Chains A and B, each alone.
Chain A
């Protein structure tokens, strides 16, 4: 079963607005990663945040991690049409050599 749950399941916003997606997980983690998937294609790695980090930035992406609440959020600022995709959080547990994915957020950016 999935460890992570993502919220919302779908999000539709206007180009230029910010998009925020949330992820919750159940067990202690080594790190949490965010991926993007376009139209059922492969996953593209966006950003990784380790369990001892609280916030990380990469370009227009900002990720936060709250290990006490077992939750993470991904913020995409100044959204563009090309950001339309599904976004997945994935957790990595020490020694498990695998990722456990959330169910994803489907983001649509309207021009």
Chain B
């Protein structure tokens, strides 16, 4: 079966712009989580959605937001981009929060 698909793979944006990243989970998986990975902070949890509801949110500013659609696909949005937002953004899907499958990630560079 198809894995977790994240688009785009690479993205370059300018400070102050906004960006939307997309994640399509494995068919049948209703939980989608997002993580940010940077060299300095490592892997940090952003938020988790289940059946279109955000169940948990990490310690990130309000510029980071997300949503989940009825088909379980999820998007995350970052507004007013800062240089420090440059990172690998990873999406993970799971059936019920146990055993996560990660996508290949979107590498965002803010210049």
Query: Using a CB–CB distance below 8 Å, which chain A residues touch chain B?
Result: 2, 31, 33, 35, 40-45, 48, 88, 90, 92, 96-104
Which of B50, B56, B88, B100 has the most A CB atoms < 10 Å from its CB? B100
Q: Check A97 against B55 for contact (C-beta < 8 Å).
A: yes
- For B37, the chain A residues whose CB sits under 8 A away are 40
Q: Which residues of B contact A40 (CB under 8 A)?
A: 37, 88, 105, 107
Say yes or no: B99 contacts A97, CB within 8 Å: no
Tell me the bound Cα distance from A33 to B100 in angstroms.
9
| B25-40 contact mask (Cβ, 8 Å, vs A): 1 or 0 | 0000001010101000
A2, B43: Cα distance in complex, Å: 8
Instruction: Enumerate chain A residues within 8 angstroms of B56, measured Cβ to Cβ.
Output: 96-98
For A96, the chain B residues whose CB sits under 8 A away are 56
Knowing A2-B42, A40-B88, A98-B58, say if A48 contacts B99 (CB, 8 Å).
Answer: yes
A44 engages B102 (CB within 8 Å): yes
Query: Known interface pairs A97-B48, A97-B55, A104-B42. Does A42 touch B90 (Cβ–Cβ under 8 Å)?
Result: yes
B103 at the interface (CB under 8 A from A): yes
